[in-house]
Structure 1
Amino acid sequence: MSFLTDSNRTSPNFSTKIQALEARSQDLSISPKKQGDASRSAEALERVHAAYQKTGLGKLDLVPLPASRPKLDIQGVTISLTLGCQVRGQFKGNPAVGALTVLFNKSEASASARDERARTAAALSLIYATEHLGGHGKAVAKLCLAYDVFRGTVTTCPSQIARRIANMEATCEEVALRWPAVKVPDDYDGPPIV
């Protein structure tokens, strides 16, 4: 994401990085998982390169986020976001702020499902900006965005999100109520579940 927050950015040229990642994806001395990661990263950079001008990202004032990023707590459920950066601007003549969430999922085939996911991610960006970035200006929906890398689109947070937030809160409340009763599978090998 350092490219996005570089104030001197014009148009990305990731050719060298893409070539290095493609070579790494063929390197038999590393694990298949690392090869796959390199291949997917090369593809993501190719998509960013191809769609950068179309997305309008170059026209935005994008600023790095603090190194330490608090998570959101919605009805007792901790939510991590893949935020790329802050988005700065003006609202009614005063400083305003938002956040850009970056979506890397390429497996969702349904356009309507991708659109819904992007709107929800942009709404979560607004919640994050409201709770954690208010020192830089008023958090506004038009500066809260979701960038779908593999689709090459940027979605702005809907201006009317009360129902969406209420739905998220109800869902998180249900998860929080049921989580203690969930049995961890015997073959689970992920991070510790608390």
Structure 2
Amino acid sequence: MAVTPKQRVSPRLSASQLADYLVAATPIGQLGILRQAKNPASGKAMIIQYQLAKRAIAECLRNRSQINQIVAKAVMELEARRDNGANGPLVRDDAQRCIGVIQTFQQAQNQMDLWQHDYTEPNVPSPTMNIHGVEVSVFPDVVASIQHRGVDRVGQVFIRCMIGQTTDGAENRRAEANGHLATIAHMHTMQFLEHLGNPHAPTSMVIDVPRKSLVRGSVNYARRVANIETACKMIAAIWPTV
């Protein structure tokens, strides 16, 4: 007998879902994101795409001197996962995609201006934020820190691995979504990580591996925060009818 997914009564989105909602091309696209958030799949095991790639890339960031060894070990394990006929097609396909993303990171890491910062593991579990009635889950891949003129600056970093569409419009929306995601990371840092240093918007970042790009939070982030807050007010208002 099929299990009906349990709906979320209260508004809750992941940071990535909120960032994508803000740049959705149409209202239908926005509703699709909200419906997915409201009706999370349940009952059957799901494959979280690129999870193993993110884990390996985060380890590389935390241990720069061991990147080649980390990549070699991750690729070897993923190749075994890909070639194991006992695994389903989703698992095997994800393994192949993870290999490609990890290798892209290895090749592009120097051109992305990553190495000004030190990286550490984030706190687990990561607390959620409440933005005007919407619970936003924020699970950064690493915490970034840098010292500037004797002041410790801190931020949080998301690693994005999914290729997605590559049309001009889709690329522009992806870049804008990455900017919103970096701002959400900064908002979360301001609320929960002040004990580690001074929350600094450009120290919160999105590493878009397929595009070999690094998007930093804007120093002038007030407009983005206002857009995020306005969107959350709207989401809270329409959630019961989604």
Normalised by the length of structure 2, the TM-score is 0.69
Distance 2:131 2:220 in 1: 19
47-56 or 108-117, which deviates more: 108-117
Distance 1:33 1:95 in 2: 43
Match of 1:119 among 179, 182, 192: 179
- The Cα shift of 1:114 comes to 2.0
1:156-178 CA distance string (max 9 Å, x none) = 11111212111111111111111
Contact 1:123 1:161 in 2 (8 A): yes
Report the structure, 1 or 2, having the larger helix content: 2
SS in structure 2 of the partner of residue 3 of structure 1: helix
Gaps of 5+ in 1: 183-194
- The Cα shift of 1:85 comes to 1.2
Matches within 5 A, 1:129-144: 129-144=189-204
- The Cα shift of 1:40 comes to 1.9
Q: How many residues align?
A: 180
- The Cα shift of 1:11 comes to 6.1
Larger RCO (CA under 8 A, 6+ residues apart): 2
Counterparts in 2 of 1:82 and 1:150: CA distance versus 1, 3 Å: farther
Distance 1:128 1:27 in 2: 40
- The Cα shift of 1:117 comes to 1.4
RMSD: 1.7
Q: Does 1:27 align with 2:84?
A: yes
Q: Does 1:165 align with 2:221?
A: no
Q: Does 1:12 align with 2:96?
A: no
1:41-99 CA distance string (max 9 Å, x none) = 11221111111111122331112111221122211112223411111123453222111
Read off the aligned partner of 2:128 and give its amino acid letter: K
SS in structure 1 of the partner of residue 187 of structure 2: helix
Gaps of 5+ in 2: 1-57
Q: Does 1:145 align with 2:197?
A: no
Match of 1:45 among 97, 102, 117: 102
- The Cα shift of 1:139 comes to 0.3
Among all aligned residue pairs of Structure 1 and Structure 2, give the percentage whose two residues are the same amino acid.
24
Normalised by the length of structure 1, the TM-score is 0.84
Contact 1:10 1:58 in 2 (8 A): no
Read off the aligned partner of 2:204 and give its amino acid letter: C
Read off the aligned partner of 1:10 and give its amino acid letter: S
